[in-house]
Amino acid sequence: MPTSSRRAFLAAGLGAAAAARLALADNSSDLPALTLKQASERIRSKKVSPVELTEACLDRIKTYNPKIDAWITVIREGALAQARALEKEQAAGRLRGPLHGIPIGLKDNIETAGVRTTAGSKTLAGNIPAEDAEVTRRLKAAGAIVIGKCNMHIFASGATSAVSYYGPVRNPWNLELIAGGSSGGSAAAVAMDNCYAALGTDTGGSIRTPSAMCGVVGFKPTYGRVSIRGIVPLTWSLDHCGPIARTVEDAAMVLQVIAGYDRLDLQSIDYAVPDYSAGIGAPVSQFRIGIPPMFYDGLEDEVAHAMEDAIALLNKLTKGSQEVQMPSILDTGAGSEGTVYREALGSGFVGGETAGGGAGGGGGGGSSRAVDYIREWRNLRLVRRTVDDEVFRKQNVDFLITPTIRELPWTIEEELGRAANARARNPKPGNTRSLDDYGLPTITLPCGFSKAGLPIGLQISGPNLAETNVLALAYAYQQATDWHTRQPPLQPDAKVPVLSKAAASQTGEALNR
């Protein structure tokens, strides 16, 4: 339906006042630049329709996906059909909630009924699930429009998103560089205004690493707070699912919908879901922040300088900071779990597709002895049960403040060259993976840029189930800075760097499609 016809259709159902508001709608080319909250407000006030938002995002994907390779599958017709149905509900005054009519991306290890879910692999290239993952179901029920499936590191087993059967995800700030992983496509898509938010998964940093490298907000909630049922697993004991968005407010809005108990998910925790947006704008002056020195070892100079400035500002916003010590993490990888899913694939599994993994992105490998697995599992449960007491209560702090990653992104060519020799590089260990072990709610948001214009991420962590407070401090920091407002300089006519044959061979036949 043409835009003018849609406006007439909506006006007929909404009356003269609504017709006047529709005349004030944003130019369609500007719609993708709205934050999720802004888009939601325009849907609610009927200044714009779900179809207009969806078409604007689809146009943006068509322009920029050939540059960044953030999407494996674009659900164009399905998204438009969903948008048209939601537009009718909007016209009738029936909104399902703040996500009504909002285009959202899903990492391609999150199952979607009737739409392929590949986990970035050749093995699952023809996998079409019969049912939605629980998070997919919740998003659709809330009126979100699933616009496509985002590219990712194969089986979520690495921290770069360069090793994918569907080609490497490219960093929107510099196409020669990695976007981070394993949820690189989700972060790049959000950074380039292809959708208003996306879901990622995080086993060793896979939401936070690409969010930091792409200059957006990524939130890993408390372990078990969001269902992982229907998500291709890497390591169940460490797998998390959470939102990637442009602002802290947007992340809170998505988390509100996907959080909650799922009795069919053995990892799910049964606690009431608070109003996450209540943390937005809440006072933070009473909070104390902890600085764990172990997270600051080996920082690149530009990351160190950005963190110094960020901590100085946070000290002004709160009661101040102090050094804290973290509990030791010994053998909590539960690495054997990743083999269970691969064994279930049987003869259909394409060997070698988890190349390029490591501590920064996941932890799908590991011991196969039952006794080792049981020991790892017990250690993991113990550290999660005691971390709140050992860190926050005994040391009298409310948050941990750390760099998200310790170094700036490197080139895709370098990464794929390493993968070709089974020497894949990952971000320096410690700043993301350990927080999956602890299971703590952790958000990353931009805190500066390098001299070359690359974003740098600040990580804020709180006690278990303290998402609302984490959001409050993250929002206070966001409001005191302008880092989150900066946009990648990528232009529609940008040339995509050509990979060497050796590097291209690591990305699968689809690179030449």
Contacts of 82 (CB under 8 A, 6+ apart): 50, 54, 140, 145, 146
- Asked whether 138 and 339 are in contact (CB, 8 A), the reply is no
- Asked whether 139 and 230 are in contact (CB, 8 A), the reply is no
Candidate list 40, 49, 183, 206, residue with the active-site label: 206
**b or e along 149-185 (b: 16 or more beta carbons within 10 Å of the residue's beta carbon)?**
bbbbbbbbbbbbbbbbbbbbbbbbbbbebbbbbbbbb
182 is catalytic: yes
Q: Which residue has the tokens 């996450």?
A: 276
Candidate list 161, 182, 336, 434, residue with the active-site label: 182
Instruction: Provide the β-strand partners of residue 443.
Output: 219, 460
Instruction: Provide the β-strand partners of residue 213.
Output: none
**Can you say whether residue 334 is alpha, beta or left, with left for phi > 0 and alpha for psi between -120 and 50 degrees?**
left
CA distances to 4, 171, 188, 263 from 446, rounded to whole Å, are 39, 15, 14, 35
- Asked whether 101 and 53 are in contact (CB, 8 A), the reply is yes
Candidate list 37, 46, 107, 149, residue with the active-site label: 107
Count CA atoms closer than 13 A to 156's CA, side-chain side.
34
206 is catalytic: yes
40 is catalytic: no
- Asked whether 507 and 416 are in contact (CB, 8 A), the reply is yes
Active site residues: 107, 182, 206
